[in-house]
Amino acid sequence: MAKMELGVSTLLWYDEDDLLVHLPLLGSEGVHRIELRRLPEHLDYADEDSIARLSTALQDHGVAVWSLHVPDKFIIEMSGPNEEVRKAAVAEAKKIAVALTKVGGKILVTQASQSWPRFAGISACQ
């Protein structure tokens, strides 16, 4: 039988900004893969120091980033009708992808927002 690894999404700590305090417990309990879900709180992708701090803490505790979920704001904007907003959101997603690789991540998770125009009231998308 193939061995299955347990992973967890950092959405578990949605209301907490400091992810680093949870890494020791994850590593000690055998949870060695995570999906980053809260940006910039759990990873400030525009801050090299934040990226370095997370990378070091991950290595120290035997935890690895497997995937990162693009923030819903950018997913909605990438699917919206405004070309300028779409392009800006794609540019941000590319920056996020670069940061993901810097912390050792392998998969950038996103999806198309099929519920447009349900989100049409969001000012950034108009």
Residue 8 pLDDT > 70: yes
Q: What is the mean pLDDT of residues 55-65?
A: 97
Buried-exposed string 26-50: b where 16+ CB fall within 10 A, e elsewhere: bbeeebbebbbbbbebbbebeeeeb
What is the 8-class DSSP label of residue 35?
E
pTM of the model: 0.82
Tokens representing 87? 């392009």
pLDDT grade for 123, boundaries at 50, 70 and 90: very low
Contact status, residue 77 vs residue 88, Cβ threshold 8 Å: yes
In this structure, the number of other CB atoms found within 10 A of the CB of residue 8 comes to: 18
The arrangement of secondary structure in 7-125, i.e. its CATH architecture, is Alpha-Beta Barrel (3.20)
Tokens representing 44? 């400030």
Contact status, residue 47 vs residue 90, Cβ threshold 8 Å: no
pLDDT of residue 79: 85
Cα–Cα distance, 90 to 79 (Å, whole number): 10
pLDDT of residue 6: 86
Dump pLDDT digits (tens) for 62-100: 999 999 999 988 988 888 888 999 999 999 999 999 999
Instruction: Cite the beta strand spans of 4-114 per DSSP E.
Output: 7-9, 33-36, 64-69, 107-109
pLDDT grade for 5, boundaries at 50, 70 and 90: confident
